[in-house]
Structure 1
Amino acid sequence: MELKFTIFATLVACFAYLQTGDAIEAMPKVQVYSRNPGEFDKDNTLICHVSGFHPPDIKIDLLKDGHPITDFKQSDLAFEQGWRFHLTKTAPFTPKKGDEYSCRVTHSTIPEGKTYNWEPDM
């Protein structure tokens, strides 16, 4: 019974906070980078870190030459101060000359989506 009350009290507190107007929409900050310096034909990890956004509903796609990468991992949605969130998506990749890697983010602040390119260090 006490657990149910605690969950209910937490939900009421969250709802009350949202009603104060402090939780306004915030556009995501997007960083696209690789775990190691980019080298052609060397295994690496592509990383798309998205932070500072609100509301938490967001879609992140890692792309190779404009096509979704299906072998990826995604972190749990994490909460930051000020009702902002962050999320990271990663995928193993081996860059080849001429390949283009990017991260496409769709959020209520950018409903049409925006693509951010990975810039290799080569």
Structure 2
Amino acid sequence: MTYVIGKPCVDVKDKSCVDECPVDCIYEGNRTLYIHPDECVDCGACEPVCPVEAIYYEDDLPDDLKVYLRDNAAFFATTLPGRDAPLDSPGGAARLGPVDSDTPLVAGLPPQGPT
């Protein structure tokens, strides 16, 4: 089981969750943050600090955000546009730094936020 970051984070990337994560498993893409499903220890520290309520425990995802469970995993398991290989398990977000890419789902979303 893991925590998942959904659509409310897209184009917001507040990063309060990054500061709270004790295992450094929240990675930064171009438009959103992603939780590595194998590195997450299910502590839940990230969820209450998210100002846009974008983080859910896998079993608690609302129906309209369930696609983000696969999407968070895909960020690490597939070769993303602009990358030569999958990220796999990079061993820490701080060490890797921001990734200049997003999953096709996130990249294809219209701009989020105030209109």
Please say whether Structure 1 and Structure 2 have the same fold, judged by a TM-score greater than 0.5.
no
- More strand by percentage: 1
**Shorter-chain TM-score category?**
under 0.3
TM, length-normalised to structure 2? 0.28
Larger radius of gyration: 1
- More helix by percentage: 2
Q: Looking at both structures, which has the greater relative contact order when contacts are Cα pairs under 8 Å and sequence separation is at least 6?
A: 2
